[in-house]
């Protein structure tokens, strides 16, 4: 597949925003019902504002891959059968709850404060539902075998949560809060589990046995079938949208880069942050991780081999 920058930004930005909000609610509830350090209301309000900004930025990015943005509202009409429609419903719902939760921390939102816990819980549920909807958009496509696995949903959730908790750790450290340590430990654990999940998907995809081949396409059982022409002298919509046009060596390089940028380096930076306590390490971790996640998401799309490329094999 040919990765669209708008989709890459959409999935990474909203994933981080969801993760940041989950981290805030978890810490806030932990302070109320357990012996965790309490978060200042002003900090929660600012962090919730950042989570909302990330969600809004992701939503804005999504409009760039729409053919007719003015008709975007129609995408919610097929919610009974379409995971995309469900995502379109879950995203603004999550945004509204994040906004209400942040407003409840402000003096002007004092009327909402008694209900903040329930708003937070509902917001977390909306964020989790959004993770599932976003992942299932790709996992439900059985003809794209690289995506058609529960690991797609698991990885979308783990990587989004890891980046969000990493951002929460940086924000807390900049404010000098004790919660920075807990956020950083959680971010490291989620990053480690994310590495396991992403490695599992890479190993699975490397062993895939293609359900579609030239032989099955034309119904001829022969051990050697060679296609000498792709039917086009130039490019077309199909060759532009369903194949990235990069060499295999380039794609392999991106794989190793995202494994380092999204997992290995953030783990080292979080370890240094926990060991030394310097704010620079806390801030560097989410920045490096998000850069790595951009590469990871590019690879996620580029790795998927659309069956139609069998016909265009002379170009692809």
Residue 131: count other Cβ atoms within 10 Å of its Cβ.
Answer: 26
Condensed to tens digits (0 to 9), the pLDDT of residues 280-313 reads 999 999 999 999 999 999 999 999 888 877 777 6
Instruction: Return the pLDDT at 242.
Output: 80
Instruction: Return the pLDDT at 108.
Output: 83
For residues 272-280, give the mean pLDDT.
93
- pLDDT above 80 for 32: no
Give the start-to-end residue ranges of the domains of the chain.
5-220+227-310
Longest Cα separation, the chain: 74
* Alpha carbon of residue 230 to chain centroid: 35
Burial of 3-33, coded b for 16+ CB within 10 Å and e otherwise, reads: bbebbbbbbbbbbbbbbbbbbbbbbbbbeee
For residues 64-79, give the mean pLDDT.
72
Could you tell me which of 65, 27, 76 has the C-alpha nearest to residue 241? 65
Does the domain at 5-220+227-310 match CATH 1.10.1040.10? Answer given as: no
What is each CA distance from 29 to 26, 65, 122, 227, in whole angstroms? 5, 38, 13, 61
């Amino acid at each position: 597949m040919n990765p669209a920058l708008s989709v890459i930004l959409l999935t990474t930005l909203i994933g981080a925003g969801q993760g940041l909000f989950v981290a805030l609610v978890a810490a806030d509830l932990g302070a109320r019902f357990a012996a965790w350090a309490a978060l200042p209301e002003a900090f929660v309000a600012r962090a919730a504002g950042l989570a909302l900004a990330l969600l809004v930025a992701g939503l804005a990015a999504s409009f760039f891959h729409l053919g007719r943005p003015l008709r975007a509202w129609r995408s919610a009409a097929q919610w009974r059968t379409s995971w995309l429609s469900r995502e379109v419903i879950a995203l603004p719902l999550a945004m509204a709850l994040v906004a209400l939760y942040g407003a409840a921390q402000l003096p002007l939102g004092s009327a909402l404060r008694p209900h903040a816990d329930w708003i937070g819980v509902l917001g977390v549920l909306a964020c989790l539902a959004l993770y599932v909807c976003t992942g299932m958009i790709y996992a439900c496509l059985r003809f794209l075998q690289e995506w058609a696995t529960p690991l797609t949903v698991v990885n979308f959730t783990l990587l989004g949560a890891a980046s969000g908790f990493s951002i929460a750790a940086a924000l807390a450290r900049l404010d000098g809060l004790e919660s920075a340590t807990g956020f950083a430990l959680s971010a490291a654990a989620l990053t480690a589990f994310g590495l396991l999940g992403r490695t599992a998907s890479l190993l699975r995809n490397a062993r895939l046995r293609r359900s579609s081949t030239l032989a099955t396409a034309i119904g001829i059982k022969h051990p050697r079938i060679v296609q000498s022409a792709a039917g086009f002298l130039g490019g077309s919509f199909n060759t532009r949208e369903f194949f990235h046009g990069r060499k295999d060596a380039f794609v392999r390089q991106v794989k190793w880069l995202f494994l380092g940028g999204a997992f290995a380096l953030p783990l080292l930076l979080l370890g240094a942050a926990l060991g030394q306590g310097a704010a620079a390490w806390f801030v560097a971790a989410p920045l490096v991780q998000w850069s790595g996640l951009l590469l990871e998401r590019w690879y996620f799309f580029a790795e998927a081999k659309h069956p139609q490329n069998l016909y265009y094999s002379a170009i692809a």
